[in-house]
Structure 1
């Protein structure tokens, strides 16, 4: 757990928003306006309850993943890298007004993540769209 780092204290939903990404490129957010950090939210056609349940089962099926916080409209999970145990903080916010799931995935340490956070969200999106 050398590279786990400390859990950030800015996690969660504040006025309908997830925390903004830092300046480093190792974060993506569906609520970010700049191209470096921007990623599309998850969209669904099921009920919001079914959507969040599907998302939870997908997250639980992924390796080295632990759901830390869960509520009807929010999931927060920690993803650990296989090799060095780097921890990424990944959040999902069910935005009932927009009928989407907002996403944020950020590395705790370092600058570059070699696209890992973006790739993770796209992997989750693909599984989510299959469900």
Structure 2
């Protein structure tokens, strides 16, 4: 009984250490970035969502529509991202790369935004840097961003 308890406790500790190491590893990566002017495709893992590729139904999420030609959505998006706990890493004319860090194991997720002014859309990609599944965290984060963005527009 004592040996079984020691083995079980050792396995739990090893699992926790493993997750902390994955968190450290995820901190050394960077966002996928743009590929030919578009957000990168999601890998074949469930820990990513992207609005650029409607044919990829496993990862697809609707883009945000821009309602006004004169409206620049990036300041509003940066404000929402800050309130959600994200940190802008890269900012270009129509592109943001943002990181979110989980509280316990310090996993880093990348959120990328590309504003397509010609199509009047805001494209979003959110993905975990390490691991396979994220229990839907990235999809939930994007849905919350879209909701908060829409709430702010209806207040105007």
Determine helix, strand or coil for the equivalent of 2:134: coil
Which sections of structure 2, spanning at least 5 residues, go unmatched?
A: 1-19
**Quick check: 1:29 aligned with 2:50?**
yes
Name stretches of at least 5 consecutive residues in structure 1 with no aligned partner.
Answer: none
Deviation of 1:84 after TM superposition, in Å, equals 1.1
CA distance in 1, matches of 2:124, 2:133: 19
Larger radius of gyration: 2
Q: Report the equivalent of 1:98.
A: 119
Structure holding more strand per residue: 1
Who is 2:68 aligned against?
46
Tell me if the contact between 1:76 and 1:92 (Cα under 8 Å) persists in the aligned partners.
yes
Q: Where do residues 1-131 of structure 1 align in structure 2 (5 Å cutoff)?
A: 2=21, 3-4=23-24, 5=26, 6-8=28-30, 11-32=32-53, 33-47=55-69, 49-63=71-85, 65-131=86-152
Q: Deviations over 1:79-129 (max 9, x none)?
A: 011121111011000011211111000001111111100000000000000
- After TM superposition, give the deviation of residue 13 of structure 1 in Å: 2.1
SS at match of 1:25: coil
**Highest RCO, 1 vs 2 (Cα 8 Å, sep ≥ 6):** 1
Once residues 8 and 67 of structure 1 are traced to their aligned partners in structure 2, the CA distance between those partners, rounded to angstroms, is 12
- Paired residues in the alignment total 129
Equivalents in 2 of 1:18, 1:30: separation in Å?
9
RMSD of aligned C-alpha atoms? 1.7
Greater fraction helix? 2
3-state SS in 2 of match to 1:50: coil
